[in-house]
Amino acid sequence: MEGPRPHSPGARLPPDMSRPALHTALRTAQKVRDTGRGALLWGYERRLAREVRAHGRLPRHLGLILDGNRRYARAAGMQRELGHSFGADKAHEVLQWCLELGIPAVTIWVLSTDNTSRDPQELAHILGLLEREARNLATDPRIHANRVRVRAIGQHSAFPPHVLDALRELEDKTAAYDGMTLNIAVGYGGREEIVDAIKCHLSRRAAEGAGLPEVVAELEPDHISAHLYTAGTPDPDFIIRTSGEIRLSGFMLWQSVYSEFYFCDVYWPGFRRVDFLRALRDFQGRDRRFGR
């Protein structure tokens, strides 16, 4: 697929550098790498942007599977936690691109339920980043100027209280907004979402006095959809996954029945605006038949 891997093995950075020094050094290396081809890339990116805007058809709901953070770090010869830090930075960039194009809804998959069983040190780093980014978004002028409603979706009961407080504060501060909807899928799994939706529906009908035979007889797909984490948001019409993996891994299993998919070879922290625009151009060229 389109888009280069972020670094060749020969471009490794010294493993004994501090994390801030590694972060700075890698950013510098990226700038130096791009300088020689910057003019050509800039011109191509501008042309792509014009084409995408001129076409006009954009996703109503864009799903993003942010994959490849650890492999990005490994390719650069640095600690894996820094890959997640670079991934968080990239998420801020991509949010800006979506705002510029006026995409109404975006769901980014940050942490799956499967990944909550990772090495405790790595998981603690990811949750620390989540708390930091939630607090940053709560005061981000872009969020308030564009009236972005932010929701954290998934199963969060096992998260540390300080992380839950940061997510709750972010949701509370943006709850009344009517601009873009930004769903942050964290502690998220598609199967778990469907099970939770069914539990919610059964509990509600039981509270209304309905018996199980009655609930079974009347059950329709819309009853499940009404209790999904993304209820009230259109199903995603376009889903992008980075890192070259060609699978959904449980992302929005119910909602993605008619979604278009795009698998990009570049690792998430190396995902460029030109890669983003290429994906959207590809989406615009598809004839969507919705299973017909």
Q: Please tell me the distance from the alpha carbon of residue 273 to that of residue 77, in angstroms, as a whole number.
A: 24
Q: How far apart are CA 95 and CA 4, in angstroms?
A: 22
Has 80 been labeled as part of a binding site?
A: yes
Please tell me whether 70 is known to bind a ligand: yes
Q: SS3 of 64, please?
A: strand
Flag whether 241 is marked binding: yes
Strand partners, 153: 185
Residue 84, marked binder: yes
| Active-site residue identified among 16, 34, 89, 115 | 115
Look up 146 and say whether it is catalytic: no
- Confirm or deny that 249 is annotated as ligand binding: yes
Per-residue tokens: 240: 């992008």
Q: Which residue among the candidates 16, 34, 67, 196 is catalytic per the annotation? A: 67
Q: What is the DSSP letter of 158?
A: T
Contact 170, 138 (CB under 8 A): yes
| Residues contacting residue 3 through CB under 8 Å, at least 6 positions apart | 264, 265, 266, 270, 271, 272, 275, 278
Is there a binding annotation on residue 118? yes
Stated as kind and residue range, the H or E segment containing 151 is strand 149-153
CA–CA dist 292, 135 (Å, integer) = 44
Q: Is 191 annotated as a binding residue?
A: no
**Residue 71 labeled ligand binder:** yes
178 is in an annotated binding site: no
Distance CA 90, CA 134 (A): 15
Task: Give catalytic status of residue 67 as yes or no.
Answer: yes
- Is residue 275 within 8 Å of 52, Cβ to Cβ? no
68 annotated as belonging to a binding site for a ligand? yes
Hey, is 207 helix, strand or coil? helix
> Would you say 147 is a known binding-site residue?
no
Residue 288, marked binder: no
Report how far residue 15's alpha carbon sits from residue 143's, in angstroms, rounded to the nearest whole number: 37
Parallel, antiparallel or unpaired: strands 149-153 and 238-241: unpaired
- Annotated binding-site positions for substrate: 68-71, 80, 84, 112-114, 118, 241, 247-249
- Annotated binding-site positions for Mg(2+): 67, 260
- Annotated binding-site positions: 67-71, 80, 84, 112-114, 118, 241, 247-249, 260
Active site residues: 67, 115
